[in-house]
Structure 1
């Protein structure tokens, strides 16, 4: 399929607007690294939780024990960042665009453009994260064995344990965990059906959530300790996260099943090309005579200059239309407004989401104008497909 005229280099994608409540702290291999405001809450909780252990190891630190706890939280999240960066690097190597890496309350998230094209891509992008965490845990554990007693040894030991737990738990076969994506890739590879893989892995995530929510009921019989209020809150948050994430993944899979029927070419409106300085009233008259549903302004050599906005034409009073050029109600041909007429499915949705607009110019492989695609027509077609 021909690429859009505004395609990014392999492994890169157009920079998306930063989500509200996030702070950019830098970049890794050209990928923005963001931190949500919730991260500061969990960093404070880690600092408060780790402080008594520090006081036990090095008495008399006073307020500095909380500072040391915060430093440990930062180091711990640097290892989480390494986990997410491994996802991003492998995705880039396989040709996917990576928009950002975000650190948040429950860990991290790597935003990758589009769904995986092959089961093996899904497998390697997913599995590398937990393997990285396990490797960090093993390395930290080895360092812990040779360090002398002291605060640093305590911190390294906690870092080793945390990364081993993160790595192992992320391999649990249920979405939205990395292990769920591994399970999805295996089912996808065996059945040839990506959506079936998502549904199976989604149910794995739901069962994991139910098992987690049931843990406080069996904690005392198994371990001999009663669950605390903190245990109950944490279990509830994690269980809710797993259940909602798995449910959302299953819903998205059902939506993606309908996307292949969404093709740009049949949805295109017949297009009339006119000079940019033609009076708007005359351009509208010609479009009506030609039964064209859209107007594109062009240069003398036929190069597209802009797409006339239907909303802007409607808003223009009829008595003014003979006196204004059609270019005044046209949106200039910016990057992302030209799409291949053959574009379809998830690629089409992704292209529209990257560069939101009311209309897009569709072109053939040789550059000839095919027509104009209206976002309203895409939305209508999607709703009709969903209702079937």
Structure 2
């Protein structure tokens, strides 16, 4: 129902990401993969069983087919959830953000959008469009209820209307990780000029919502006159845990992001020695030590970077073999994503590394000149030091 991942700047087009374990691709929308997790089949089964008595009441004597009809309703319901998530994704794309996937799971759906928003109004519109879509679907279903014939179709429309209105309204509750929490975050961010403050406020809203939800069974009988069932208690616990952990994670990420601007690639780069590919490894290491360089890059005859020498591979190579092997045997070819701007910093640096994991990256100036080599180990060390500071 909600979109727990914050939208982020990207190239404006979707990128294909590794499929999460236990998920299945069922299609795409606007070039975005649509996935379902194995947990979806469990919730579809639960919906089938829960909906069966209502179907039996309307169409007696269906036997096992009432569960099939319940499963069909589950599919229809999740198509409306997909529409909710697709609205997040399409608006994000229109605003220039990259969208990885839409996933349908036990608790509804999730739209994975890279990184964080650039502006509070982007955060607002990407977040609010989902609940508004659900409310719109619910209102359309309410209108259809008056014109469709009695029977299973009317029951399906009735369930669709109720579920979407509930999803839409509940997702507007001002607490992360719900969409309403992201709306609150955008409002606080816009008013204060501080994105992290907006996240903290919305995170506390999510925590308070989780506590209120967990306390609901204690007062349910007094308020509604109906005692909570075991199923009610289980659902309240699952949803409360989801809200609390999601809000807590968002607050933790906000605190980390506050320190990211201090993480700059340029001062972390190692001095680099460039050598031809066919140079013996022992000679390349000797030259690097003489030049006090912390990294080696192989280049073609015209000076174009060809590969980055792996520090781990050099260490693993026995010293007696180094004079007899070319330095190219311990290099990693310059693939896409291994070359970064020397000025990259903060969240852009973390995002670049997470998109293309590697041990070393080549840093280049705007004019293409080699600045140095950035080691992931050095980035991790600096990140931990910033976190402790």
The equivalent of 1:66 in structure 2 is 67
Q: Aligned equivalents of 1:359 and 1:296: distance in 2?
A: 11
Q: List per-residue Cα deviations over 1:12-48 (Å, max 9, x = no partner).
A: 23x2211111111111111111111111100000000
Q: List per-residue Cα deviations over 1:273-324 (Å, max 9, x = no partner).
A: 1111111111111100100000001111111100000000000011111111
CA contact under 8 A between 2:86 and 2:102: conserved in structure 1?
Answer: yes
Q: Aligned equivalents of 2:260 and 2:17: distance in 1?
A: 23
Q: Aligned equivalents of 1:90 and 1:196: distance in 2?
A: 24
Q: Aligned equivalents of 1:83 and 1:137: distance in 2?
A: 11
The equivalent of 1:350 in structure 2 is 351
Q: Does 1:129 align with 2:103?
A: no
SS in 2 for 1:252: helix
The equivalent of 1:219 in structure 2 is 220
Give the alignment of 1:231-310 within 5 angstroms. 231-310=232-311
User: Offset of 1:202 from its aligned partner?
Assistant: 0.2
SS in 2 for 1:125: helix
The equivalent of 2:5 in structure 1 is none
SS in 1 for 2:233: helix
Q: Aligned equivalents of 2:17 and 2:32: distance in 1?
A: 11
Q: List per-residue Cα deviations over 1:192-222 (Å, max 9, x = no partner).
A: 0000000000000000001001101111111
User: Offset of 1:334 from its aligned partner?
Assistant: 0.5
Q: Aligned equivalents of 1:194 and 1:155: distance in 2?
A: 42
Q: Aligned equivalents of 1:148 and 1:77: distance in 2?
A: 23
Give the alignment of 1:49-64 within 5 angstroms. 49-64=50-65
CA contact under 8 A between 1:11 and 1:94: conserved in structure 2?
Answer: no
SS in 1 for 2:102: strand
User: Offset of 1:9 from its aligned partner?
Assistant: 4.2
The equivalent of 1:3 in structure 2 is none
Q: Aligned equivalents of 1:97 and 1:265: distance in 2?
A: 26
The equivalent of 2:6 in structure 1 is none
Q: Aligned equivalents of 2:362 and 2:312: distance in 1?
A: 16
CA contact under 8 A between 1:11 and 1:93: conserved in structure 2?
Answer: no
Question: How high is the TM-score relative to the length of structure 1?
Answer: 0.97
Which of 11, 14, 33 pairs up with 1:12?
Answer: 14
Q: List per-residue Cα deviations over 1:95-143 (Å, max 9, x = no partner).
A: 1111111111000001101100100000000000000101111111111
**How many residue pairs were aligned?**
381
Question: How high is the TM-score relative to the length of structure 2?
Answer: 0.97
Q: Aligned equivalents of 1:355 and 1:199: distance in 2?
A: 30
SS in 1 for 2:24: strand
User: Offset of 1:8 from its aligned partner?
Assistant: 7.1
Runs of 4+ displaced beyond 6 Å: none
